[in-house]
Amino acid sequence: MKKKFVYFFGDGKAEGNKDMKDLLGGKGAGLAEMTNTGVPVPPGFTITTEACRYYQTHKAYPPGLEEEIEANLSMVEKSMGKGFGDPENPLLLSVRSGAKFSMPGMMDTVLNLGLNDQTLVGLTHKTSNRRMAYDSYRRFIQMFGSIVLGMEHKDFEVVLKEIKRVKGVRLDTELDADDLAHLVERYKEEVKEVKGIEIPQDPREQLKMTIIAVFDSWDNPRAITYRKLNNIPDDLGTAVTIQAMVFGNMGQNSGTGVAFTRDPALGKKKFYGEYLLNAQGEDVVAGIRTPNPISRLKEELPEAYGQLMDIYQKLEAHYRDMQDIEFTIEDGRLFMLQTRTGKRTTKAAIKIAVDMTNEGLISKEEALLRIEANQLDQLLHRQIDPSAKKEVIACGLAASPGAASGKVVFTPDDACEWNHEGHRVILVRTETSPDDIHGMAVAQGILTSRGGMTSHAAVVARGMGKCCVAGCEAISVNEEAKEFRVKDLVVKEGDVITIDGGTGEVILEEVPTIEPELTPEMLTFLSWADEIRSLGVRANADTPEDAKRARDFGAEGIGLCRTEHMFFGEERLPIMQAMILAKDEETRRSTLDKLLPMQKQDFKDILKAMEGLPVTIRLLDPPLHEFLPKTEEEVERLSRKIGVPKKEIARKTEDLKEFNPMLGNRGCRLGIIMPEIYQMQVRAIFEAACELVKEGYHVKPEVMIPLVGHVNELKVLKEDTQRIAQEIVNSIGVNLDYFIGTMIELPRACITADEIATEAEFFSFGTNDLTQTVFGFSRDDAEGKFLFQYVDKKILEDNPFAVLDREGVGELVRMAVEKGRKVRPHLKIGICGEHGGDPSSIEFCHQVGLDYVSCSPYRVPIARLAAAHAKLKKSAREDLSDTR
């Protein structure tokens, strides 16, 4: 059977539907579905993603595509009663890209295709609107020149600005038909001058060149960057939707707009959007004019507004999700040009999911699956401290929440350069375009002087989780001079500003921020996740403050308390250094006695903060040389402070130096060679715990011995730990439940996990070191020298230090779990490396039967949701398997 590459929609029926996004892209599938539901949609057809993929491989149309395009074009002509290329009654087309996943502004659109010098006359005659005809023609030349011929947007913008300057007007709409006719000729001259060719006069040649340009746009730099930032596969390709033009630029009874069925920033249940009269669709999203709020349309075109209200409610109920819709009103008649699942902030996504569940539209399980776990990171952005003094210099639209400070830069390339040098930056633009994506990705926030809530800057910033203030018309941006002005105030490149995407404020200098708080909807949402997940979630925390924060975010204990961080305090480090420099064990022990009360108080504070919950305390892990001074100046300072000659400090530093410290004298090896260090720490843990029990607290300490590769290492240190623990318990006279376990972070530990489980009462995977030893990578060297190139070249799918390598590291984890539980069936097993906060890694942890994951306090909400996702996805797979 011959493969079909083109799908028609129009006249109330379509060949596609909403479930065909893989083939028709989100735009094509949405138009087909709207057509089938009776919504007024201009007729058209969609060329499939398969055709795009064929073209990318062969640089030619697939066999039969040209004939299918002609056949479907005839159907559009018949539906519209117009002819493509007909000089008297011309059919004009829009050509738009549309991938499976929404990629706002990343690929390309050409409007008014089919216009030439002959069809221009026919359009003028048919519409009796010479201004509208020339306005459409100049737009076509600009889009075709930019997208198909590869000209710069500024090539045309310079010409347009000059004509407006001569005319003495500010807005495009203030140009009359004669001005636009002049502009068309100037645009043609610009194309000829820059590219050395003329815009094709043959509409079919225009169409073919544009389809190929849209296919090619899948691999333009901004689309590649967007896919990389959003983990969208590179091999999907884009569909091309070709549709009869309807005109919003026919006068004050016509217009165009973009709307959301709910507020995409806050999630409130209200119709939310913007429109412009006498405009075409790109005017709204490009930020060229600041649009009007959708509510005003009720006053200006009440009949179209009423119809739009009915349609948006119908579409939301049909899709059971918030929709992003585009519409055009032509001479008072409403047409729908797009519906797709709307981009939204995470705050809005959670409110919408909770509200729709309460409204009975979706289930709790659907609500949970609608939000990617990593999206929750958006809600953990800092906010402006309400008590802080601030100098607000301007106010724009609160386009994407959060607050950020940084040095002002005016181009995306400068943003990348300054960021590479270690500076936090705020990208300031008149308006952003898809070509700015790389600069937006590294900026702390985005500020634009033009554009609305549906502009490119706003939509992309919300998708990235960046704060954004858009349409701040009080600022005048001069990108060439690298400055912006607010009245008499000049802010130059490198000056520091703060923007508040929640209020729209632009503030001079850096302003203090505060920690975020979880909203009531977020708490409800996460409680649903807790009802479903079976995987526990703990936090990595080394201070009482971190422990409290983790508990507030829903942590069920501490999975990793790193004791080495406690020795770097200003008061403690010299004592630790003196202990390392001690010449004998007796001196070391007496020095450690000075650290004991400090370490004990640390443990007391953390155990108290986590009362009733388990706290896993890892004994000292890094090699001792990390605590010694690195520079001459630091050596001099230490020598004066502790009275040890500089030569002795230098000699000891040299003695402790190792060729590969990661594999050297650290972790349990250090505890065996210098047992007094671990003995002090164990004493501090159990004195703290027993004293708290005596005071009436319920504490659950767990002692974790790091870097065990052989069961005998654990056996020696466990016996020592038990001896000290029992001595203190008996001395203070309390009952204390505690566990002694190990960190599994070496391949040998995984392979011999059954032996280690005879001694260990729990396992906790340290997947950072396990990844290093499995791959033979030094993380710092790998990430600094070659690892990111490995990911770019597709040698590795992900950075294995960020996303657990299931085939290698994961198989060792699986082996260790199975072997450990054969010996000790109820062995408690968790993971405390960085992977404990990564959704993909959490899913794997659920699959292999771990009891808990542990992550940074700020990733606890992410881990809670990811654990629920893992359970739901596994249940869905099992249900599917049962039906086969």
C-beta of residue 94 within 8 angstroms of C-beta of residue 37 = no
- Judging by beta carbons within 10 Å of its beta carbon (0-12, 13-18, 19+), is residue 144 exposed, middle or buried? buried
SS3 638: helix
Cβ-proximal residues to 607 (8 Å cutoff; 6+ apart), any chain: 615, 688, 689, 692, 697, 699, 701
Report which of 660, 863, 873 is spatially closest to residue 777, judged by C-alpha positions. 660
CA 299 to chain centre: 39
* Dihedral sign for Cα atoms in the order 770, 771, 776, 782: negative
Residues 6+ apart with CB under 8 A from 275: 255, 256, 257, 258, 259, 284, 291, 292, 294, 297
Q: Using alpha carbons only, how large is the chain's radius of gyration in Å?
A: 32
832 annotated active-site: yes
Cα–Cα distance, 504 to 168 (Å, whole number):
31
Q: At what angle do helices 711-732 and 675-694 cross, to 10 degrees?
A: 40
- Which helix (H) or strand (E) segment holds residue 127: the answer is helix 117-127
What residues contact residue 721 under an 8 Å CB cut-off, 6+ apart? 678, 682, 703, 705, 740
d(CA 614, CA 704): 12
Give me the catalytic one of 381, 438, 456, 846: 456
From the CB of residue 309, how many other CB atoms can be counted at a distance below 10 Å? 14
854: three-class secondary structure by DSSP: strand
Distance CA 309, CA 297 (A): 11
Q: Catalytic annotation on 125?
A: no
212 neighbors 97 (Cβ within 8 angstroms): no
φ and ψ at residue 838, rounded to 5 degrees: -100, 125
3-state DSSP assignment of residue 398: strand
Residue 56 CA to chain centroid, in angstroms? Answer: 28
Give the Cα separation of 719 and 736 in Å (integer).
Answer: 17
To the nearest 10°, the Cα dihedral for 538, 544, 545, 546? -30
Phi–psi pair at 532, nearest 5 degrees: -95, -40
Query: Among 52, 472, 690, 832, which one carries the catalytic annotation?
Result: 832
Phi, psi at 318, each rounded to 5°: -70, -45
β pairing state of 496-500 and 489-492: unpaired
How many Å from the N-terminal Cα to the C-terminal Cα in the chain?
A: 28
* Active site amino acids: 456, 832
